[in-house]
Amino acid sequence: MAHPNPIKAGSKAPPFNYTNAGENIQSSDINGRCLLYFYPKDDTPGCTKEACALRDSWSDLLSADLTVVGVSKDSMVSHEKFIAKYQLPFPLIADTELELARAYGVYGEKKFMGRVYDSVHRMSFLIASDGTILKTYDRVKPEQHAAQVLEDLKAL
């Protein structure tokens, strides 16, 4: 098992192209900056707190010209339920084969309650309109993530 090795700021972000629920989500269509956030699993406590914090800051994120896209290995059916249950205003990518998670370096060894296993880590990437990673968030606190991103956007 390998530890995650997230892409660092200043690097070029790997492009993505996914179709979810008939909607095509691709990096080349995003105008402006993008927050690509990876999370372990739909409808779990930390993941729900993070998604709802982003939802609750939605108007501020839009005002900052930021597109938000969530990514997990959950199925599109799971994502649709998660979006509906919490009224999330942003798309979620079903990265069931972990291609995007591996490309961004967020998949790797985790330890929880004495168990060691591979999984997606809670990490995010703030990406410029030219595809350059402006900031890598490798230690995300779910409830504070949206506020942290907004602060960083003001500083850029």
* Mean pLDDT of the 135-153 span: 95
Q: What integer pLDDT is reported at residue 22 of this predicted model?
A: 65
Owning domain of residue 84: 32-155
Residue 140 lies in a domain: yes
- On whether residue 137 sits in a domain, the answer given is yes
So what's the pLDDT on residue 117? 85
The answer to whether residue 130 sits within a structural domain is yes
Read off the tokens for 70: 């969530």
47 carries an active-site annotation: yes
pLDDT at 135: 96
Domain-located, residue 48 = yes
The string of DSSP letters for the chain reads: -----PPPTTSBPPP-EEEETTEEEEGGG--SEEEEEE-S-TTSHHHHHHHHHHHHTHHHHHHTTEEEEEEESS-HHHHHHHHHHHT--S-EEE-TT-HHHHHTT-EEEEEETTEEEEEE--EEEEE-TTSBEEEEESS--GGGHHHHHHHHHHH-
The radius of gyration of the chain's CA atoms, rounded to the nearest angstrom, is 15
pLDDT digits (tens, 9 = 90+) for 119-141: 999 999 999 999 999 999 999 99
Residue 1, in any domain of the structure: no
Q: Name the band, by pLDDT with cuts 50, 70 and 90, for residue 21.
A: low
> Each residue of 73-98: pLDDT tens digit?
999 999 999 999 999 999 999 999 99
Neighbours of 65 (CB within 10 A): 11
Residue 17 belongs to a domain: no
pLDDT of amino acid 1: 61
- Selecting among 7, 47, 100, 146, the annotated active-site residue is 47
Q: Is residue 24 part of a domain?
A: no
Instruction: Point out the least confidently predicted range of 1-5, 17-21, 36-40, 94-98.
Output: 17-21
Residue 25 has pLDDT above 90, yes or no: no
- pLDDT tens digits, residue range 33-73? 999 999 999 999 999 999 999 999 999 999 999 999 999 99
Give pLDDT, residue 4. 86
Cβ-proximal residues to 75 (8 Å cutoff; 6+ apart), any chain: 94, 96
In a domain, 2, yes or no: no
What total of structural domains would you count in the chain? 1
Instruction: CATH number of the domain at 54, please.
Output: 3.40.30.10
